[in-house]
């Protein structure tokens, strides 16, 4: 621990002497100082001697004040540093040090749901030991939100390859795009997009907000999507005919089981592997999915176990006759929720 050098020892008798009340320095000739009486020659000698003594005392006080201030600076520095040193010693006694590497990493994973975005790198900022454990726990890095904004900062551009490396071979959960004004100004970053596309064989859960800024990313998605299990798509002010060709590669995602569509994204429903789905959700409403879309899904997704229609804005007009009775025997549940969509 580096501590600033102090000038001398602690408070001395000289300091105490100089700090005494000035009452002890009162003039021996008060009547001379309080009147306009002309001093005698003897008094002039006494006055000049007292002035010289005061000048010496002031110089001593300046030197002592400087010395004491240096001591106070050192004291304040030490006082601010000691709690950190205390915490380091306290950390040495922390019970988490006794936890095996794998168990501590699993604790970090389980606490991810407590963070607002479902992902947090907070453990890397606690201490060196936690940072080492967090970096080596690949599951912590398998969830990534890719915000398409008007720019990529240097730190963000550097973190994409680091995130992919730290996630190792873990299945990835990615969230691409944001429905914000800033997001629509994004012009794309082909290098970073390619890094993420090259890991498409690890995509497991994907959420896509499709707008003009993310179309380039979507159109270059590879066909190799063997792990894709859950897909959420919402389109924002993009012509359906443009999106139709951009979604074609998802037809090869044979592992897809959960699908959510937040808009009637093409003139006809895209070529998803409908027969493999077990859960499907359509967001219904003006400019969104329609009852014709719903009928199409129920006719194609023959193995559905759960089918849900969410209404935005909420409608109160729904009857069981809206879906064909011939599908009820092969669906374990059909949820009809009036829920405002928040894409």
Question: Residue 221: which pLDDT band, with cuts at 50, 70 and 90?
Answer: confident
- 300, two tokens: 């194609």
- What's the confidence (pLDDT) of residue 305? 92
Check residues 325 and 175 and name the one with the higher pLDDT: 175
Per residue in 296-314, pLDDT (tens digit) is 888 888 889 999 888 765 4
Check residues 246 and 219 and name the one with the higher pLDDT: 219
Supply the mean pLDDT for the chain: 74
Among candidate residues 293, 179, 163, 198, the one with its CA nearest the CA of residue 237: 179
Domain ranges in the chain are 44-93, 99-136, 138-311
- CATH class entry, domain 138-311: alpha beta
Contacts of residue 30, Cβ cutoff 8 Å, sequence gap at least 6: none
Distances (CA, A) of 285 to 27, 117, 212: 96, 27, 22
Lowest-pLDDT choice from 80-84, 203-207, 216-220, 225-229: 216-220
Among candidate residues 45, 42, 46, 41, the one with its CA nearest the CA of residue 27: 46
Q: How far apart are CA 220 and CA 195, in angstroms?
A: 12
How many CA atoms lie less than 13 Å away from 204 in the CB half-sphere? 10
CA dihedral of residues 245, 251, 253, 257 (deg, nearest 10)? 110
Q: Per 3-state DSSP, what percentage of the chain is helix, strand, and coil (rounded to 5)? A: 50, 15, 40
- 328, two tokens: 């009820």
The pTM of this model reads: 0.59
- What's the confidence (pLDDT) of residue 78? 95
Per residue in 10-52, pLDDT (tens digit) is 456 777 777 776 665 666 677 777 778 888 888 888 888 888 9
The pLDDT of residue 90 is above 80 = yes
The pLDDT of residue 283 is above 60 = yes
Per DSSP, the residues of 50-106 read: HHHHHHHHHHHHHHHHHHHHHHHHHHHHHHHHHHHHHHHHHHHT-GGGGS-HHHHHH
């Amino acid at each position: 621990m580096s501590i600033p050098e102090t000038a001398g020892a602690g408070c001395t008798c000289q300091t105490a002497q100089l700090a005494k009340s000035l009452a002890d320095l009162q003039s021996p000739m008060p009547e001379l100082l309080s009147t306009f009486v002309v001093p005698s020659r003897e008094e002039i000698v006494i006055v000049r001697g007292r002035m010289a003594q005061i000048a010496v005392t002031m110089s001593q006080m300046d030197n002592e004040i400087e010395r004491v201030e240096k001591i106070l600076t050192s004291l304040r520095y030490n006082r601010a540093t000691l709690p950190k040193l205390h915490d380091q010693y306290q950390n040495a006694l922390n019970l988490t040090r006794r936890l095996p590497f794998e168990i501590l990493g699993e604790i970090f994973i389980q606490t991810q749901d407590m963070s607002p975005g479902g992902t947090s790198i907070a453990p890397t900022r606690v201490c060196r030991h936690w940072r080492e454990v967090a970096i080596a726990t690949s599951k912590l890095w398998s969830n990534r939100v890719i915000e398409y904004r008007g720019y990529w900062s240097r730190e963000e551009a550097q973190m994409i390859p680091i995130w992919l490396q730290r996630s190792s071979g873990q299945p990835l959960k990615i969230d691409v795009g944001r429905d914000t004004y800033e997001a629509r100004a994004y012009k794309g970053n082909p290098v970073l997009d390619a890094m993420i596309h090259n890991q498409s064989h690890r995509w497991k859960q994907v959420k896509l907000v499709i707008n003009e800024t993310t179309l380039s990313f979507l159109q270059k998605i590879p066909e190799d999507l063997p792990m894709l299990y859950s897909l959420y798509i919402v389109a924002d002010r993009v012509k359906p005919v443009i999106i139709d060709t951009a979604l074609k590669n998802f037809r090869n995602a044979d592992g897809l089981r959960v699908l959510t569509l937040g808009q009637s994204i093409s003139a006809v429903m895209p070529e998803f592997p409908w027969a493999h789905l077990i859960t499907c959700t359509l967001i219904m409403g003006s400019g969104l999915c329609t009852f014709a879309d719903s009928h199409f899904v129920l006719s194609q997704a023959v193995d559905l176990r759960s089918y849900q229609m969410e209404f935005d804005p909420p409608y109160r007009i729904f009857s069981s006759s809206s879906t064909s009775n011939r599908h009820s025997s092969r669906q374990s549940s059909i949820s009809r929720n009036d829920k405002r969509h928040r894409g």
